[in-house]
């Protein structure tokens, strides 16, 4: 299997997982980035949206690992793009910030999520919110038309992160900015975890080191790149031990870790 075929296989795994979540998850009952759903383990990574203006519980499936809109500097009248918009949670928070004069676009590669988001949009009666089916490696948005890009626990699931951030750069206006919450690692994850599709769809095995992540962002052309929030994610030992030995786990825990970060940057 070549790299392109491998990438398509991974996308299919992720799409199937999030289709299942879109069709079955109840608002507020997600398990953090899709991780651990329908198993004895749950991993809480989502931020607390409950006090944010514009928050719609119907759109919150608990799939995030931060609150990217908090650090995005969204202003009234902005055009905001949410990558991996799911049921619309971050889109509707951003809609409150841009107001009637702004616009919010949500892009997701899972048709079932688009349908769920459209249902929520209809209930809210918004006319300046647009959900589009598409992939982050080929964003269905014109070049240089977006003021702010946000994303929540999604970019790490994209096989070609270089292309994804090149696309973010392309759609942003000059002077535009991004705020992305994501999962990264401290040190390299063991091969036993990287090969497990269940963990990949749960935002863990798709993660790269924080240093590599930042390097990819900077190589895409962004300036002022910085991590504005960081939190260690506690993964139950029992989940790891399903796929590795205790000695492997000890070795990993002595030098590795899984982090939730929010990173920001600008297109100069």
29-63 b/e (C-beta count within 10 Å ≥ 16 → b): ebbbbbbbbeeebebebbbebeebebbbebbbbbb
Q: Which of 30-39, 43-52, 123-132, 144-153 is the least confident region?
A: 30-39
**Got the DSSP string for 148-199?**
EEEEES-GGG-S-HHHHHHHHHHHEEEEEEEEEEEEEEESPPPHHHHT-HHH
Please report which confidence band the pLDDT of residue 36 belongs to, taking 50, 70 and 90 as the band edges.
very low
In this model, does residue 53 exceed pLDDT 80?
yes
CA dihedral (256, 258, 259, 265) in degrees, to 10, reads 80
Please report which confidence band the pLDDT of residue 31 belongs to, taking 50, 70 and 90 as the band edges.
low
Q: Domain range for residue 120?
A: 3-266
Start-to-end CA distance of the chain, whole Å, equals: 39
* Rg over CA atoms, the chain: 18
Number of structural domains (the chain) is 1
> pTM for the complete prediction?
0.90
What pLDDT digit, counting tens, does each position of 39-48 carry? 555 666 778 8
In this model, does residue 38 exceed pLDDT 50?
no
**CATH number of the CATH domain containing 260:** 3.40.50.150
CB-based burial of residue 234 (10 Å sphere; 0-12 exposed, 13-18 middle, 19+ buried)?
Answer: exposed
In this model, does residue 201 exceed pLDDT 60?
no
The predicted structure's pLDDT at residue 198? 54
Helix (H) or strand (E) holding 264: strand 257-266
In this model, does residue 264 exceed pLDDT 70?
yes
Q: Are 220 and 162 in contact (CB under 8 A)?
A: yes
CA distances from 192 to 42, 63, 129, 153, 249 (A): 20, 24, 41, 22, 10
What is the Cα–Cα distance from 182 to 66, expressed in whole angstroms?
7
The predicted structure's pLDDT at residue 196? 59
pLDDT, the chain, mean: 88
Q: Which of 149, 163, 231, 242 is nearest to 197 (CA)?
A: 242
Phi, psi torsion values for 192, nearest 5 degrees: -60, -35
In this model, does residue 76 exceed pLDDT 90?
yes
In this model, does residue 262 exceed pLDDT 80?
yes
Phi, psi torsion values for 148, nearest 5 degrees: -140, 135
The predicted structure's pLDDT at residue 205? 64
In this model, does residue 14 exceed pLDDT 60?
yes
What pLDDT digit, counting tens, does each position of 135-175 carry? 999 999 999 999 999 999 999 889 899 999 999 999 999 99
138: helix, coil or strand?
A: strand
């Amino acid at each position: 299997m070549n790299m392109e075929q491998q990438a398509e296989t991974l996308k299919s795994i992720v799409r199937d997982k999030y289709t299942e979540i879109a069709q079955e998850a109840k608002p507020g009952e997600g398990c953090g980035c899709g991780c651990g759903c329908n198993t004895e383990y749950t991993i809480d990574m989502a931020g607390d949206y409950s006090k944010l203006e514009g928050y719609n519980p119907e759109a919150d499936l608990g799939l995030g690992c931060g609150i990217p809109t908090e650090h995005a500097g969204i202003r009234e009248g902005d055009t905001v793009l949410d990558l991996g918009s799911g049921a619309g949670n971050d889109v509707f928070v951003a809609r409150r910030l841009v107001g009637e004069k702004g616009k919010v676009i949500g892009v997701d590669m899972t048709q079932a999520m688009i349908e769920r988001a459209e249902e929520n949009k209809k209930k809210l009666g918004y006319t300046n919110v647009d959900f589009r089916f598409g992939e982050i490696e080929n964003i269905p948005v014109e070049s240089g038309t977006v003021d702010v890009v946000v994303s929540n626990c999604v970019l790490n699931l994209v096989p070609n992160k270089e292309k994804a951030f090149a696309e973010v750069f392309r759609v942003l206006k000059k002077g535009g900015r991004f705020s992305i919450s994501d999962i990264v690692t401290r040190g390299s994850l063991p091969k036993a975890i990287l090969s497990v599709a269940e963990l990949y769809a749960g935002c863990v095995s798709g993660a790269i080191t924080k240093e590599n992540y930042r390097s990819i962002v900077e190589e895409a052309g962004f300036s002022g790149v910085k991590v504005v929030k960081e939190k260690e994610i506690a993964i139950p030992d029992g989940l790891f031990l399903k796929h590795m030995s205790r000695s492997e786990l000890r070795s990993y825990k002595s030098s590795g870790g899984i982090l939730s970060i929010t990173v920001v940057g600008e297109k100069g």
